[in-house]
Structure 1
Amino acid sequence: MNKNIQAEIKNQVALINLNRPDVFNSFNREMAFEMQDALKNAAQNTEVRAILITGNGKAFCAGQDLKEVTQPELNPGFKAILEEHYNPIIRLIREISKPIVAAVNGVAAGAGANIALACDVVVASEHAAFIQAFSKIGLIPDSAGTFFLPRLIGFQKASALMMLGDKIDAVEAERLGMIYKYFSAEKFEEESIKLVEKMAQMPTKALALTKEAMNQSFTNNLDEQLALESKFQIEAASSKDYKEGVNAFVEKRKPKFEGE
């Protein structure tokens, strides 16, 4: 039974909670594998139509548990940490054909910040903060930080944040476009759940195609992206959800989408 990751399904949403609050939900090897399993299970479960990742306690995730890398008997080595722990998590987040929301409840540092930023939508509590903490201990950003952060907020700002290791609060993160929006501490949990449950009731086949189109936009040129949009739009237009959406619009009623 998992102890470092808590996972449950509620209202067609897979709720994945990082659960090492005593060490600010920092990752060790065991937790990384549990996280991968939780994501794979959510991807394969036909009941699940959206995924929410958040943290238990005061922090979202402080990144790598430094205790693991400073004790020789525990340290798997950086090659294993990246290739077996974090890189598979980032790939799963981007490859899973379901919308994934990161609800950042507190500090998100290092790999913890970059796992959040790899998600489709990021919301945060007003008490959240984002830190590219790597440079403070002589490392470089990993977990796709050098990939996503410049695309979110621009080259200059991302370069400065990664090199200086400045802490960015939720207000500034929203202003920069690093996250979708922030909520007051009192409404954070309620609003986060409301948002992901709304996504679970949307035409999730179309959302999956949107996600894949955005993934491919990172490497496509304009003509390739236009061709991909055409292909995916034809596929979306043949779905049950498209027919339901059109019928509901004509009949002036709320659509009931099934993700098919």
Structure 2
Amino acid sequence: MEKYQQQFKRLKFENNQPGVLEVIFDGPNLNSVDTETHSEIPAIWPIIDRDPDVRAVIVRGEGKAFSAGGDFDLIDRQIEDYGFRMRIMRESRDLFYNIVNCSKPIISAIHGPAVGAGLVVALMADISIAAHDARIIDGHTRLGVAAGDHAVVWALFCGIPKAKYLLLTCKEISGQAAEQAGLVSLSVPKEELLETAREIAQGLSEGAQESIRWTKYSLNQWYRQAGPIFDTSLGLEFLGFGGSDVVEGVASHRERRAPKFSGEVHS
């Protein structure tokens, strides 16, 4: 694990089974994503893809959450600094495509809150396992920006009607309900979550590697076909960081109150 830990300072790594790498969100404020973490989570996947010692990956969060999403400093800088905003947009694009193009099977073990960029990783995993009481939330429109990458992923997984309901209203969905909706692969009791993920990862690491990887590649063609929609959706999200709604959205989160958006439309 030393070679990974030397290169990545925000993510943590464990190797508890032969051929299985565990990538762990382990930071303050329920593993929220700061600037450095946002850079690391897309960068890790090409390296894993080229590592002959890794045959399967588990992604999980330490402590009480998978990940609480982007921290306020990250959002503030996107509002204030156009160049930084473009950097984060590029990293968000790379996160989606790098997970899609990583040949190794990825399993996510989701517990507690799962929001924002962390949630993208959780849902884009090849096999996503959620604790029954996991709290899956897309809060983009509550923040004052379009749902972006989530608009593509959720529609592919649970269909457009359900995706519209959850993304437009920012309704929280439990892990158990997410399985029923098709948003995650499997839901289990919280105490069985990590054991289940490790059992599945072990089976995949011991399986026929070429057939597993080509099956993943074939299925991920659906994501590749959705690439133009993804790029457009992501661009529309980041346009919002230059508007007034996101300023009010961030303020309302900080002050723990309902947002009072202006209602203005400029398009």
- After the TM superposition, which residues 96-245 of structure 1 pair with which residues of structure 2 at under 5 Å, given as runs? 96-142=102-148, 144-218=149-223
The answer for the alignment partner of 2:258 in structure 1 is: none
- Unpaired runs of 5+ residues, structure 1, are 221-260
Report the CA distance shift for 1:17/1:219 in structure 2 as closer, same or farther (over 3 A): closer
Report the CA distance shift for 1:218/1:193 in structure 2 as closer, same or farther (over 3 A): closer
2:89 paired residue among 73, 79, 82: 82
The answer for the alignment partner of 1:67 in structure 2 is: 73
Report the CA distance shift for 1:38/1:71 in structure 2 as closer, same or farther (over 3 A): closer
Q: Who wins on radius of gyration, i.e. which is larger?
A: 1
Report the CA distance shift for 1:77/1:175 in structure 2 as closer, same or farther (over 3 A): same
2:71 maps to 1:47: no
In 2, are the aligned partners of 1:68 and 1:74 still within 8 Å (CA)? no
The answer for the alignment partner of 2:97 in structure 1 is: 91
Return the TM-score normalized by structure 1.
0.77
- Unpaired runs of 5+ residues, structure 2, are 1-5, 226-267
In 2, are the aligned partners of 1:121 and 1:180 still within 8 Å (CA)? yes
Q: Which amino acid aligns with 1:156?
A: P
In 2, are the aligned partners of 1:110 and 1:141 still within 8 Å (CA)? no
CA distances 1:189-237 after superposition (whole Å, capped 9, x unpaired): 11111111111111121111111111224567xxxxxxxxxxxxxxxxx
2:72 maps to 1:35: no
Query: What displacement does 1:73 show?
Result: 11
Alpha-carbon distance in structure 1 between the residues aligned to 2:137 and 2:78: 27
The answer for the alignment partner of 2:242 in structure 1 is: none
In 1, are the aligned partners of 2:100 and 2:223 still within 8 Å (CA)? no
Query: What displacement does 1:127 show?
Result: 2.6
Secondary structure in structure 1 of the residue aligned to 2:184: coil
Alpha-carbon distance in structure 2 between the residues aligned to 1:89 and 1:113: 12
Q: Which amino acid aligns with 2:107?
A: V
Report the CA distance shift for 1:219/1:65 in structure 2 as closer, same or farther (over 3 A): closer
2:21 maps to 1:14: yes
Secondary structure in structure 2 of the residue aligned to 1:179: coil
Report the CA distance shift for 1:24/1:74 in structure 2 as closer, same or farther (over 3 A): farther
Q: Which amino acid aligns with 1:15?
A: E
Secondary structure in structure 1 of the residue aligned to 2:57: strand
2:22 maps to 1:3: no
* Overall identity of the aligned pairs, in %: 24
Query: What displacement does 1:164 show?
Result: 0.3
Query: What displacement does 1:6 show?
Result: 0.6
Query: What displacement does 1:56 show?
Result: 1.0
In 2, are the aligned partners of 1:62 and 1:109 still within 8 Å (CA)? yes
- Of structures 1 and 2, the one with the larger relative CO (CA 8 A, separation 6+) is 2
Secondary structure in structure 2 of the residue aligned to 1:77: helix
Query: What displacement does 1:74 show?
Result: 9.3
Query: What displacement does 1:70 show?
Result: 2.1
The answer for the alignment partner of 1:257 in structure 2 is: none
Q: Which amino acid aligns with 2:173?
A: I
Report the CA distance shift for 1:107/1:72 in structure 2 as closer, same or farther (over 3 A): closer
Segments of 4+ in structure 1 off by > 4 A?
71-76
In 1, are the aligned partners of 2:131 and 2:176 still within 8 Å (CA)? no
In 2, are the aligned partners of 1:28 and 1:65 still within 8 Å (CA)? yes
The answer for the alignment partner of 2:263 in structure 1 is: none
Alpha-carbon distance in structure 1 between the residues aligned to 2:188 and 2:126: 18
- Count of aligned positions: 217
Point out the structure with the larger helix share.
2
Return the TM-score normalized by structure 2.
0.75
CA distances 1:84-120 after superposition (whole Å, capped 9, x unpaired): x222122111101111111112211122222211111
In 2, are the aligned partners of 1:69 and 1:77 still within 8 Å (CA)? no
Secondary structure in structure 2 of the residue aligned to 1:24: helix
